[in-house]
Structure 1
Amino acid sequence: MNAGVSFDKSKNSLSRHRSVWEMRSESWIGLVDDLSRLVALPPDHPERQSRLTHIGELIAALAPIESYWAFPGGRVFADLCSWIERGELARAHQTARRIHRVLVARTYRHEASSLEGDGELPSQIETESERQAQLSRPYFEVLIVDEMSASEEAALRRRVQRKRHAEDEFIFDIVIVPSFEDALIATLVNFNLQAVVIRHGFPFRSIYSDDMLRRFLDGVQDGIETIPEFERGPLLGRQIARLRPELDLYLVTDMKVEDIAATAGEVFKRIFFGEEDHVELYGAIMQGVGERYHTPFFDALRDYAKQPTGVFHALPLARGKAILNSSWIGDLSQFYGMNLFMAETSATSGGLDSLLDPVGPLKIAQEHAARAFGARRTYFATNGTSTCNKIVVQALVRPDDIVLVDRNCHKSHHYGLVLAGAQVAYLDSYPLDQYSMYGAVPIRHIKQQLLSFKRAGTLDRVRMVLLTNCTFDGIVYDVERVMLECLAIKPDLVFLWDEAWFAFARCHPVYRPRTAMATAARLAEMFKDPAYAKHYEEFSASVDWDDEEALLERRLIPDPDKVRIRAYATHSTHKTLTALRQGSMIHVWDQDFRDKAEEAFHEAYMTHTSTSPNYQILASLDVGRRQVELEGYELVQRQLELAMNLRDQVQAHPLLKRYFRFLAVGDLVPLQHRESGVESYFNEDTGWNNFELAWRTDEFALDPTRATLAIGATGLDGDTFKNKELMDKYGIQINKTSRNTVLFMTNIGSTRSAVAYLIEVLVKIARDLDRRAADMSSIERRIHAKKVRSLTLEHPPLPDFSSFHRAFRGDNLASNTQTRNGDIRSAFFLSYDDSNCEYVNMMEASRAIQAGRELVSALFVIPYPPGFPILVPGQVISMEILQFMSALDVHEIHGYRPDLGFRIFSEEALARTEERTLAKTTVIQAQQEAMQS
């Protein structure tokens, strides 16, 4: 009996899904469910035909997707389709059910499961033996790009299977695709891929026309179809390397391998001629994955822990002796396990290494990390990114160098600039008054400041631009544009990108182009291209460098003969990737590192790095790097989908959307900074296309994995909602709040269960709010309405940076041209002497400012939330700042004492300091004029 199912491959009615991975998962669930119901239905049941039609749609949706995975594979999937077409629905249901169970449990990775028979497959919670099997022989897949017949594919699979050995460290299966487009789609669809073998000669076009799959081809350059087949292999390799740089690429060709190796050798790990070295190809694939799997320091520490060692050194805790010999602290080992203490040591020998002078496994581990994150050099840190930031600032900034810095950056930068003695020019981010938070610094504002220093004749002293990418709230810069336009004004400018919350971005092809390391490498290649030199000549002939307004209006590009790429990024690896607390990294892409920074960097590293670093933290950084290279893309994509699902669930729930709303990019990035015009990153008509378009084109993008929830309609402020509702009642931890928002951050460890629990909690809170509202008296309702109105409509305007007082303006004090830089170091230490300071409360401060007195802060003043400095040492207190402080309904304000008020400098201290500063500046200027004459 024929089931009457037709599989229409020309269209897909399941476009409501956010992604191909969600479509795959839900299609298998739907297929199993429909087949189960069909088996139970009598032949003449009216529901039967609609079920068959839906099955046809599901099969049509799955067919192209399954062609990019090794399991269940083309043959098994074709068998399933044929059984459905022939009406063998019971057999088809059993097979589909078993395939789905294996996919969910992922047991295909480490056991050969039969797809026929009545036995139950393992559940998603694997047995210990299965888990150990996966640990002992991890599984991956190899993409082979070649146009083959079915018999040729079968022969190749048999040949691969015959090469497997019991002693192999890994096991792999193969996926064969016939075209250039299929190879690109498979690279982005299949998380299991670790290597790609590109063989000689294949067509360009894919036979599939599915819109959801073809979106992966957006951005592929035009004209590739006209390129001869023998040239497509190297070009495909370059495209894949751009999308997934962690994959090992191999080229098998019948052309002159020597010539190809000379022109495309940097893309491919190895190039083979025809079939003469297929044994070596197998070995090369295994070795390539092994290089990324190898964790030199973690392995060395694990081996050390196994050695019988006599400890006559520091650390009574080493080898667990202080615990094993104790009658009172045995519960410590019971809680943590003995391996933690067996690996505890202060030794740098015995197979280990020194963080301060690495020459062995730690040195190799840092080199592997540089490869993983696209850096020229990488340094590990066990004191968190706060220390990393201070290291970079101290290494690159000399006393009186000028640094342009976002005022809302992490406090470690402010303190690092104090220690370095820098002249600080604070930049203003665009304000989001309605949410009591700042966004990021527009490029126009940065250019304005650089041009003001040029006009003042002090551009040569501008050393660095320091920006946070991405911000706590998920605002991400167009790093390439910032670097290009700034370098056009000052070609040797150094960039420090604080990517504490953005370490994961390297793993994903949409995020990666907006990272510091990827941008630095891309710009270095761009500036070597003769086409860019020609482009610059045309630009240079059309630009008037004396017309500042014109320079602010147009996009600037730097002179390739003068520009130097000097970029640093700091990562809180422990915040968004797998590492123990305080595990961080410094990544360096600096063309002048050896000549201008290496010695100073090592001294700064020595200054701030402990001589007793925690080896467990270092080992976790090594293992976290392995995860980035082998499964980072999969984990970040899963994180992204969970975040989008969370947003959708709240938006669609009738009760939740009365009280809550997740902010979209249109809320957090003003339209003038969104060239794409995109208001929301996902909709049912275009899927994810808006997300990818905005990230390619906009000055600022929003990281969707940071979900900012507006809660003003609840009548609760962010701090209360965080502590009283989420944490105290339901045990949900969050980090950041503002006056009327709370921030939920997904990460690579987030799960669907965790998202489901959060939605459940929000529903409970919403129902509780409904109950409270129903029980309110008329007076309570008026009070509640006033609170809601305050949180949703009455927004205190966020103040910009006012100015530094003249006493801390340095060379600007005697200059006719005003620039924003000031000396926070002298102000910071001047406040140490109580005789230089006094206190004024809010009311006294307001009266004094109205009477004409300049009040100058002696401390950093940081309300939390929102958590950014309203005042820094040496800054003039403005009425706008007082108004904002008065409107804040938070109790935790660092640097402000409710009993005393603001700590400010006395008028006498300011006068003395201003006199000394002016005298010093006058002498320096006289010396400079004498030298010039």
Structure 2
Amino acid sequence: MHAMNDYSSAIQLRSDRWSALREATGALTRNPTAKQQTALRKKTNQLFDSLAVIEPYWAFPGMAAFDHMRRQFEHNAFEELAFSVGRVTRALTTGAYRRRHIPLERDSIEAEELDDEALLSPEARALTKPYFEVLIVDNVNEYQERWLRNNVSRMRRPEDPFLYEALVVPSLEDALVAVLFNHNIQAIVVRPGLVLKSRMDQQMVQRFLNRAGDQEEIDNMQPEDYGPELCRLVAKVRPELDAYLVTERSVEDIAGLDLGICRRVFYNQEDFMELHLNILRGVQARNKTPFFTALVEYSKQPTGVFHAMPISRGKSISRSHWIQDMGAFYGPNIFLAETSATSGGLDSLLEPHGPIKEAQELASRAFGSKQTFFATNGTSTCNKIVVQALVRPGDIVLVDRDCHKSHHYGMVLAGAQVCYLDSYPLNEYSMYGAVPLKEIKHQLLKLKAEGKLDKVRMLLLTNCTFDGLVYNVERVMEECLAIKPDLIFLWDEAWFAFARFNPTYRQRTAMTAANTLRSRFRTDAHKRLYEAQQTRLEDADDEKLLNTRLIPSPHARVRAYATQSTHKTLTSLRQGSMIHVNDQDFKGEVEQSFHEAYMTHTSTSPNYQIIASLDVGRRQVELEGYEFVQRQIEAALSMRRAIMTHPLLQKYFRVLTAGDMIPAKYRQSGISSYYDAEQGWTDMWDSWEQDDFVLDATRVTLAVGGTGWDGDTFKTDILMDKYGIQINKTSRNTVLFMTNIGTTRSSVAYLIEVLVEIAKSLDERLDDASRMELRSFERRVKGLMEELPPLPDFSRFHDAFQACSVTGEGDIRSAFFLAYDENKCDYIDINGPLKEALDAGETVVSASFIIPYPPGFPILVPGQVVSQEILAFMLALDVSEIHGYRPDLGLRVFTEEALQELVDARDARPQIAPAAE
């Protein structure tokens, strides 16, 4: 009874099966009837079978103990079995196995002191040694396995900074499954005796091997290459791990191979102490937090402060008669670590050369970039830094129109010619999707036809979008580079920092895609494919180019930037963000301008606590990011399943699936939902590997129009005010629940309880409603679910700010600063006068950004012509917050005279004749 399709992950399956086994074995000890005992024995046996395919991949309780418990069951030793299973289940639940040996015999000394990690004080938890597991891959018999484990265990010393247990599997396939199953694994020892194939259930094994590589590639490996190839394959799924290769091959044979994550090669020796020290050293390299450690040491120093910041060392608080409560609330350490100094073992964020520099280098390694920079004032500032560093006045930038407002303001500051790209609309949910690749290619080909490709500088897209839509980053980059080989990509990954630490998600991150393309472009195979396609497309028109998967030149330059809000999805204090760079031309072309932009936007007094939290957050994801992200995805998938299968919740709520949010033509895999009530869970890997867009499972968009409440009312009046549940984003008829690495199964259960309570109260209210009240309710539901205004596309820039109507890019900077002159602007009421003006054929041009919340991005930008569709959308908006709009005055627009002056001035400028060819 594997029941893998009933679960989204093996970890959750394992946890639930042990809990169920504890209940079943406990029931066997309570004198059941013959009929009950038969049923319990059958259930227990099924549970043992189910766990038998999972337990070989975990060090605790270990297969020896597991087999012993099974023998207890077979010999009807139910009292001893129930005790052993209870101890294992409790140790797994509380984490006690991570701190001490767990005896499973009934006559062992009971050590049931508060072993639950969650009940330990932070100080007590900080004093315990971190625990991990070492995977040894070698096809050995039971005696040899015990010898290996014992030899590794004997090397451990009291002074070691970490605790670890060894786990032995026989094959390459088992090793790959183990690193995907077992988040405790931090190091792998690959010995020469490993074999290729697993003896476990092949259906289960195949499900996990997809993430590591092509099955045909694995099957065709030569035995002498199993060890090196395993190191390479593990690097694809968990690149943060360390591998150690024990080999009998010569150094010359090994030297030319791709050893992936291998840190050291041992040649035909059994030096377990050297191996032990290397394992500890490898984990310590990830455990380092240079800046956090420096800040802790600084806080311990006796320091006389004759500098800025009275709060430094807590002096202004400890001497106060009126703000002692602040000191009591935060405690002393945060003030001991407050300083404006860049000496004493600390460093400068603007000119790092010590622990901040080292911390950024470690972050670069963790996130797969070539350079990483910390920011202490959010990703909004990161976006402006990157844009200012790369975009010069007059450069054309292709921008996702519904990107974050910081990008639009960045375009103003840089003086870019902005070419807005429209996402596909989801009118029935009042939200936008993402920009189709054809739309991007179409715009690039238009610019090429107009002779403007040399002015195109950057493509800016949001990955993933607020609603969880994720691009096929690698394909977007390669096809765009096939049209413009030096195009720069800025991927706003504000909500996607966690993706690096899951093998399914990682493939769609900017840094992974950039590294993949850089490697591919260097191969002879890519060169041959490119040359063959160039021959086929020699006389191709735009239509054929749009419908062909284009292959870029081997000489294309990979230039990718990603901005991430570490504080949004990983562990960091608010406003802690990072900029990741993977730009082949950074050193020669960008480094100086990037430094200037960084200096422009970064405070000279950055918050050291934020920097320290970025350093510690990086340490966490390198050591346990895989586990935390996996649990985050599990929590979201459990939420989806619970809502989708609850009969009462289905009356009023609906979880939006990939099929709802992504049109079928962009889902090449054909997968429309991650869960089906009849078939169970769908493997997400297929869609994430193939589709143009995929849906991030950690975001659950719930259609709430069936309740009669709009999204904003449901969020504020119901979830927040009544139940204390915080969410961020809504649309007219949806609310978005976002899980994170701190989300627990308990918090998901609470949310489901709340939704059930809301549904029950609606049932009761409608049951008692009069006929008129029912009609009113039905009318509200219809208005929210059926009578929704179509989402408007970007209209156009006015001729005063647009040099070419064919390609449509606009000078947003001129429009923005023209609006500073009050004499050039006027206000017009959208309730009547504006419609009358548009109906009369007048051209009305916005003088400001208009940003309603929701959706939270500009529906009008300075210089944009107001269309009938945009007006209809504004009139239909039922939101309490619209940035840039004055309800008392109306919409701020440019006067006709101001616009005509600009057009006349431009027409009066002498035209430069094109150069003779």
Give the TM-score normalised by the residue count of structure 1. Answer: 0.96
1:93 Cα deviation from its structure 2 partner? 1.0
Instruction: State the AA in 2 paired with 1:249.
Output: A
Question: Structure 2 CA distance, aligned partners of 1:190 and 1:16?
Answer: 19
Aligned equivalent of 2:77: 88
Q: Larger deviation: 836-845 or 117-126? A: 117-126
Equivalence for 1:665 = 658
- CA change 1:307–1:708 in 2 (3 A) is same
Q: Provide the rounded CA distance (Å) in 2 between the counterparts of 1:200 and 1:896.
A: 70
For residue 58 of structure 1, give the secondary structure of its aligned residue in structure 2.
helix
Quote the offset at 1:469 in angstroms.
0.1
- How has the CA–CA distance of structure 1 residues 222 and 689 changed in structure 2, closer, same or farther, with 3 Å as cutoff? farther
User: Which has the higher mean CA deviation after the structures are superposed, 119-128 or 449-458?
Assistant: 119-128
How far did 1:557 drift?
Answer: 1.1
Q: Structure 2: how far apart are the matches of 1:32 and 1:776?
A: 48
The corresponding residue for 1:551 is 545
Query: Which residue of structure 2 aligns with residue 906 of structure 1?
Result: 895
User: 1:115 is aligned with what amino acid?
Assistant: L
Letter aligned with residue 913 of structure 1:
L
For residues 605 and 354 of structure 2, the distance between their equivalents in structure 1, rounded to whole angstroms, comes to 17
Q: Which residue is equivalent to 2:854?
A: 865
Which whole-Å CA distance do the structure 2 matches of 1:217 and 1:125 have between them? 33
Q: Matched residue of 1:269: which SS? A: strand
1:41 is aligned, of 31, 34, 48, to 31
CA distance in 2, matches of 1:228, 1:859: 65
Tell me if structure 2 keeps the 8 A contact 1:735–1:743: yes
CA deviation profile, 1:662-697 (whole Å, cap 9, x unmatched): 111000001111011111012366654441111111
**What is the match of residue 158 of structure 2?**
166
Structure-1 separation of matches of 2:222 and 2:543: 48
Q: 1:868 to 1:577 in 2, by over 3 A?
A: same
| Shift, 1:177, TM fit | 0.4
Q: Which amino acid aligns with 2:859?
A: I
2:761 and 2:458 map into 1 onto residues whose CA distance is 51
Q: Determine helix, strand or coil for the equivalent of 1:464.
A: strand
* Correspondences of 1:477-492 after superposition (within 5 Å): 477-492=471-486
Return the alpha-carbon distance in structure 2 between the equivalents of residues 909 and 777 of structure 1.
58
- Which residue of the other structure, out of 236, 240, 243, is the alignment partner of 2:234? 240
What is the CA distance between 1:743 and its match in structure 2?
A: 0.5
Contact 2:22 2:82 in 1 (8 A): yes
Q: 1:697 aligns with which of 690, 697, 720?
A: 690
Instruction: Name the Cα RMSD after superposition.
Output: 1.6
User: Which position in structure 2 is the counterpart of 1:107?
Assistant: 96
Instruction: Note the alpha carbon deviations across 1:454-509, whole angstroms, 9 max, x for none.
Output: 01111100000000000000000000010011000000000000000000000000
1:640 maps to 2:628: no
Structure 1 counterpart of 2:807: 819
Q: Percent identity?
A: 56
Say which of 271, 282, 293 aligns to 1:288.
282
Residues 379 and 585, structure 1, Cα contact 8 Å, conserved in 2: yes
Trace 1:889-904 onto structure 2 (pairs within 5 A).
889-904=878-893
**1:366 aligns to 2:356 (yes or no):** no
Counterpart of 1:425 in 2: which secondary structure? strand
In 1, distance between residues paired with 2:648 and 2:677?
22
- Contact 2:96 2:115 survives alignment (8 Å): no
Q: Which of 241, 265, 278 is the aligned partner of 1:271?
A: 265
SS of the equivalent of 2:579 reads strand
Say which SS state the counterpart of residue 326 (structure 2) adopts: helix
In 2, Cα distance between equivalents of 1:206 and 1:603:
55
Contact 1:215 1:689 in 2 (8 A): no
Letter in 1 for 2:98: R
Q: Tell me how far 1:883 sits from its aligned partner.
A: 1.3
Aligned to 1:154: 146
**1:597 equivalenced with 2:568 (yes/no):** no
Q: Does the residue aligned with 1:896 lie in a helix, a strand or coil?
A: coil
Q: Structure 1 residue 615 and structure 2 residue 585: aligned? A: no
Q: What is residue 907 of structure 2 aligned with on the other side?
A: 918
Partner deviation per Cα, 1:231-268 (whole Å, 9 max, x = no partner):
11111111100010000111100111343033235541
What CA distance in whole angstroms lies between the structure 2 residues aligned with 1:564 and 1:241? 25
1:782 maps to what in 2? 775
Mapped to 2, the partners of 1:214 and 1:687 lie a distance apart of 18
Task: Determine the C-alpha separation between the residues in 1 that align with 2:365 and 2:384.
Answer: 24
Larger mean CA deviation between 96-105 and 895-904 belongs to 895-904
Matched letter for residue 189 of structure 1: F
Pairwise CA distance, 1:105: 0.8
- 290 and 686 in structure 1: CA distance in 2 versus 1, 3 angstrom threshold: farther
Give runs of aligned pairs for residues 881-896 of structure 1, distance below 5 A: 881-896=870-885
Matches within 5 A, 1:193-272: 193-209=185-201, 211-218=203-210, 219-265=213-259, 267-272=261-266
How far 1:166 sits from its partner (Å)? 0.9
**Worse-matched range after superposition: 249-258 or 66-75:** 249-258
Which residue does 2:171 correspond to in 1? 179
2:349 is the alignment partner of 1:355: yes
- Give SS of 1:838's match: strand
What corresponds to 2:865 in structure 1? Answer: 876
5+ residue gaps in structure 1?
1-10
Counterpart position of 2:507: 513
Displacement of 1:155: 1.3
* Matched position secondary structure for 1:142: strand
Give the conservation status (yes or no) of the 8 Å contact 1:201–1:233. Answer: no
Distance 2:153 2:119 in 1: 26
* Match in the other structure for 2:409: 415
Residue 882 of structure 1 aligns with an amino acid whose one-letter code is L
Q: How many residues align?
A: 911
In the TM superposition, residue 276 of structure 1 has moved relative to its aligned partner by 4.9
After superposition, where does 1:428-443 map in structure 2 within 5 Å?
A: 428-443=422-437
Contact 2:363 2:372 in 1 (8 A): yes
Q: Is the 8 A contact 2:495 2:565 kept in 1?
A: yes
What is residue 495 of structure 2 aligned with on the other side? 501
- Is 1:26 the counterpart of 2:2 in the alignment? no
Q: 1:724-777: per-residue Cα shift (whole Å, max 9, x none)?
A: 001111111111000000001000001111111111111222222223323433
Shift of 1:271: 0.7
Question: In 1, distance between residues paired with 2:434 and 2:117?
Answer: 44
Secondary structure at 1:587 match in 2: strand
Classify the secondary structure of the residue corresponding to 1:511: helix
Separation in 2, partners of 1:111, 1:170: 12
Which residue of the partner structure matches residue 518 of structure 2? 524
Alpha-carbon displacement from aligned partner over 1:16-40 (angstroms, at most 9, x marks no partner): 2232112111111111111111122
Query: Does the residue aligned with 2:34 lie in a helix, a strand or coil?
Result: coil
Deviations, residues 44-82 of structure 1 (Å, cap 9, x unaligned): 611222221221111111112111010001111111111
Cα distance in 2 for partners of 1:714, 1:129 equals 43
CA contact (8 A) 1:145 1:198 kept: yes
Q: 2: CA distance between counterparts of 1:341 and 1:919?
A: 63
Q: Where does residue 389 of structure 1 map in the other structure?
A: 383
Between the aligned partners of 2:366 and 2:595, the Cα distance in structure 1 is 22
CA distance in 2: counterparts of 1:448 and 1:150, whole angstroms: 63
Query: Structure 1 residue 16 and structure 2 residue 6: aligned?
Result: yes
- In 1, distance between residues paired with 2:466 and 2:284? 36
Counterparts of 2:743 and 2:529, CA distance in 1:
46
SS of residue in 2 equivalent to 1:732 = coil
Structure 2 CA distance for aligned equivalents of residues 684 and 135 of structure 1: 46
Kindly indicate whether the alpha-carbon contact (under 8 Å) linking 1:109 and 1:134 is maintained by their aligned counterparts in 2. no
Q: Does the 8 Å contact 1:201/1:229 carry over to 2?
A: no
Q: Which amino acid aligns with 1:711?
A: V
Hey, what's the Cα distance between the residues in 1 that align with 2:128 and 2:3? 42
Decide which of 816, 823, 832 is 2:820's aligned counterpart. Answer: 832
Question: Structure 1: which amino acid aligns with 2:10?
Answer: V
- Tell me which amino acid in the other structure corresponds to 1:841: D
Give, as a single letter, the amino acid of the residue that structure 2 aligns with 1:386.
Answer: S
Question: Partners of 1:367 and 1:13 in 2: how far apart?
Answer: 43
2:413–2:813: 8 Å Cα contact kept in structure 1?
Answer: yes
Deviation sequence 1:809-837 (CA, Å, 0-9, x none): 13x2xxxx711200010000101111101
Contact 1:17 1:684 in 2 (8 A): no
- Counterpart for residue 702 of structure 2: 709
> What letter is aligned with 1:660?
F
